[in-house]
Amino acid sequence: MVLGLVVGKAVGVSAATWLAVRLGIGVLPDGVRWSQVGGVAVVAGVGFTVALFVTGLSFDDPGLQDASKVGILVASTVAAVVGAVLLARTARGSEPEPRGQPAGSPGGSTSAGSSGSASPEAWRATASAASRAASSPPR
């Protein structure tokens, strides 16, 4: 359960975004970096409402329902913490990655950023870029 919500969502969202950009179906909005897409993809694992609903439909045994609910809440917490750490590290980076280049690829950034604490402006820029990435329709 934990791997499905945390790793599965991160891989799925990142892969779908990469594929859409690669095929020319969509582009990353200005100022959005691949490392930010990865951080937001991890945060996508926080969505536990449907998982809780499916658990109620799937298991008649209250013990199994309770164990599933604990697993879902643990996975959501892990996704939130890991996503926040990744986005915080991304906010510390000073140079945006070239558009269309995933981190670590030729021409893309290989590190998440420099050491030190992120300024409030960097946090706002990261949040704004993540919001634009989530709400922008493909061009």
Question: For 39-49, how does the pLDDT look when each residue is reduced to its tens digit (9 = 90+)?
Answer: 999 988 887 77
Q: Tell me whether residue 48 is in a domain.
A: yes
Q: What is the pLDDT of residue 92?
A: 73
d(CA 47, CA 123): 22
Domain of 44? Answer: 2-98+114-135
**Number of structural domains found in the chain:** 1
91-105 confidence digits (pLDDT tens)? 876 455 555 555 544
Q: Tell me whether residue 87 is in a domain.
A: yes
Q: Tell me whether residue 107 is in a domain.
A: no
Q: Tell me whether residue 122 is in a domain.
A: yes
Do residues 139 and 32 lie in contact, with contact meaning Cβ atoms separated by under 8 Å?
A: no
Q: Tell me whether residue 103 is in a domain.
A: no
Q: Tell me whether residue 108 is in a domain.
A: no
Q: Tell me whether residue 109 is in a domain.
A: no
Q: What angle do CA 54, 50, 88 make, to 5 degrees?
A: 135
Query: pTM to 2 decimals?
Result: 0.59
